[in-house]
Chains A and B, each alone.
Chain A
Amino acid sequence: DAKTTQPPSMDCAEGRAANLPCNHSTISGNEYVYWYRQIHSQGPQYIIHGLKNNETNEMASLIITEDRKSSTLILPHATLRDTAVYYCIVSFKGTYKYIFGTGTRLKVLA
């Protein structure tokens, strides 16, 4: 089973920030949090990852709580093309396969 919990769906108005939460309460000290998204049935697209510090790149920001038990992916100005399923993944300790959950289906509304 996935080590993360995400809401099944969210809506966001175009141009607004989309904040996608993820709980990973059993995360270990050396495990990273990764975020991917999947548009339709395309291959999962890497967005961002982090260990304990907040991270930002050209696509998104990642906020990780101090206890590392949860994180939030922020898309600062959502567009219609950001409509996708977003997956929060914690690398599985002792191995490096990704365990995908069901993700959050984000719908950006015009």
Chain B
Amino acid sequence: EPEVTQTPSHQVTQMGQEVILRCVPISNHLYFYWYRQILGQKVEFLVSFYNNEISEKSEIFDDQFSVERPDGSNFTLKIRSTKLEDSAMYFCASSELEGRETQYFGPGTRLLVL
């Protein structure tokens, strides 16, 4: 069964450093999403992406964040200058069509900013 994959599974970085989280969505999916979950808190929407453009972003997704689909398979989330409060699990998801299509989530990347 096809699934969303994410790398790395764990990332430790120093405050102020840039990090890139990588996702490989399911191959025939067209819509891509990033969510995050701070330890003990809710899963929060960050951004949705379609046709090489951001469809929607939350207020969390400020100028420090960016997303890219650099090739036909990868979808990346970049945090330019990490802060302590960026420490969280980051989940990538994809769906075949937007709207009422099911989103499938990857296993997540645990980011720890020191």
Contact = CB atoms under 8 A, between A and B. Distances in A.
Q: Are chains A and B native binding partners rather than an unrelated pairing? A: yes
Given A41-B37, A44-B91, A100 B43 contact: yes
Given A32-B100, A97-B33, A97-B56, A41 B110 contact: yes
Contacts, number: 60
Contact of B45 (A34, A51, A98): A98
Given A49-B102, A100-B44, A42 B31 contact: no
B45 A43 contact: no
A101 B93 CA distance: 17
B104 A42 contact: no
A45 B105 contact: yes
Interface in A16-73: 30, 32, 34, 36, 38, 41-46, 49, 51
B27 to A, nearest CB: 17
A38 B98 CA distance: 22
A91 interface: yes
A9 interface: no
Size bracket, chain B contacts: 20 to 34
B25 interface: no
A100 B37 CA distance: 10
Nearest to A102: B42
Contact of A41 (B35, B56, B108): B108
A99 interface: yes
Given A49-B102, A91-B100, A96-B99, A41 B89 contact: yes
B103 interface: yes
Interface string B1-29: 00010000000000000000000000000
9 contacts: A30-B100, A41-B110, A43-B4, A43-B105, A43-B108, A44-B43, A49-B100, A98-B43, A98-B45
